[in-house]
A and B are shown apart, each in its own frame.
Chain A
C-alpha cells in the first residue's frame, strides 16, 4: 500500500479487527455484483470506497428517470446510458484504485458460472426470482459465498448463503420452487432509504467475508420493516433434501475467504 492508500483507508485500518492485513485482503478481493439498481448502488459505492480491489458489475438495463429516486449510483445526466457504465463512472470518481469490469448482459448459465468462479464473494442485488435462483445455483456449485438482499415496499430481507459452511442453508432452501410470484420494486414500489440500508448491510457482510472477521448472517435471515422500524431474525435450517446444496460435501472448512 502506498501513502495515499494508507491515508484513504486509515479510518478502517485503525480498527484492530481490520488493520493492514484486512485492508490488503480487501484490495486483493474480487466481488461480483449482480444488479446495479437500488441495492447495487449502495453495495458498489461502499465496496469501492472501502477499497475492494476488483468489482464486476452485471446489469443489462439502462438508466431511467424513474430509477433515480433510489438508485443513487446514477445521475440525471446519465439517463439512457447503460447502468453498468453509469456506475463505473461514479465508482471510478469515488475511488480510482478500484478495477471495475462491466457486463451489460443478462448472463446465461455459462457466463454466470464463469463470473462466479472467478469471484471471492457474490452479491445478489437483482430483482427477480429466476436470476436469484441461477445465482444461488452457481454460487453453491462453485462454493462461493453469496450475500443476498431484497427490498420491496417497506420491507426487506438480508442473509448470507455460504456453501463453505456445511450447516448453512442456501437460497433454494429458503424459497424452494414455490417462489413463482414475481414481485419487483418497479411493479410494487419501494421507499428509497430501505435499499440503502440493505445494500449497506450487504456491503458490510461482503467485507467481513473477505476479511474473515466477525459472525456473518449465515443461517440467519434478517427481516426489516421500516414502517414500524422493527428488525426480526429468523433462524434458517438447511433443507436436508435441497436439490441445490444438500449434495455439497462438508469438507470445505471455514467460511473465511482467502483471496
Chain B
C-alpha cells in the first residue's frame, strides 16, 4: 500500500536546499536513504546529463557508491531528489519518462522563485502521486 505522506527532517530539507543552491545553474541530483516513508540521509550523485540545466542522469558509479553507503548504514533506498533551476517543483515530462525506481519518493527542489520550494511525489512504478511532506 502506498504511504500517503513522506517524513523529511528539517535538517535534511536544508541539505537539499543547500545542494540545489550550491549549483543553481544546473539540476543537482542524488539518492535518499531511510526506511518506509521516513527519509534520513542524502547521498549526492553527479548529474551526467549533457543538458544538466534541464535534466538529470544519475552517474552510475556514484549510484553504486551511494547504495553501498546506504547498505552499510542499514538504510534502504527511499528517495531520489533533483533540482529544477528555473521551473516549478513538479515532475517534468522527462522526469516521468526516466523515473526508474518504483516505490520511492521523488523530491524536487525548485529555485524558480526567490525562496526555494520542495515537493515530494510517490512513484508507484507507473505514475507520480503528490505526497505531503511532514517536517519531522
Contacts and interface: CB of A to CB of B under 8 A. Distances in A.
A173 interface: yes
Nearest to A237: B57
A66 interface: no
Contact of B50 (A157, A178, A240): A240
Interface string A204-234: 0000000000000001010101001010101
A7 B135 CA distance: 63
Interface string A167-179: 0010001111010
B50 A174 contact: no
Contact of A228 (B50, B64, B67, B71): B71
Interface string A223-259: 1010010101011110111000000000000000000
B72 to A, nearest CB: 9
B64 A223 contact: yes
Contact of B100 (A232, A235, A239): A235
B48 interface: yes
A19 B19 CA distance: 54
B52 to A, nearest CB: 11
A176 B71 CA distance: 24
Contacts of A232: 67, 70-71, 77
Nearest to A220: B100
Given A223-B67, A230-B71, A175 B48 contact: no
Contacts of B98: 237
B30 to A, nearest CB: 13
A258 B70 CA distance: 40
Nearest to B56: A237
Interface in B4-49: 48-49
A174 B61 contact: yes
A225 B71 contact: yes
A221 B60 contact: yes
Nearest to B80: A235
A236 B101 CA distance: 11
Contact of A240 (B49, B63, B101): B49
A175 B71 contact: no
B71 A178 contact: no
A228 B74 CA distance: 10
A121 B58 CA distance: 28
A251 to B, nearest CB: 21
Given A223-B67, A230-B71, A241 B60 contact: no
B96 to A, nearest CB: 15
A147 to B, nearest CB: 18
Nearest to B67: A232
Given A223-B67, A232-B67, A235-B63, 19 more contacts: A155-B68, A173-B60, A174-B61, A219-B100, A221-B64, A223-B64, A223-B68, A225-B68, A234-B63, A235-B58, A235-B100, A235-B101, A236-B60, A236-B63, A237-B57, A237-B58, A239-B57, A240-B50, A240-B57
The 3 closest A-B pairs by CB, nearest first: A235-B100, A237-B57, A174-B60
Interface of B: 48-50, 57-58, 60-61, 63-64, 67-68, 70-71, 77, 98, 100-101
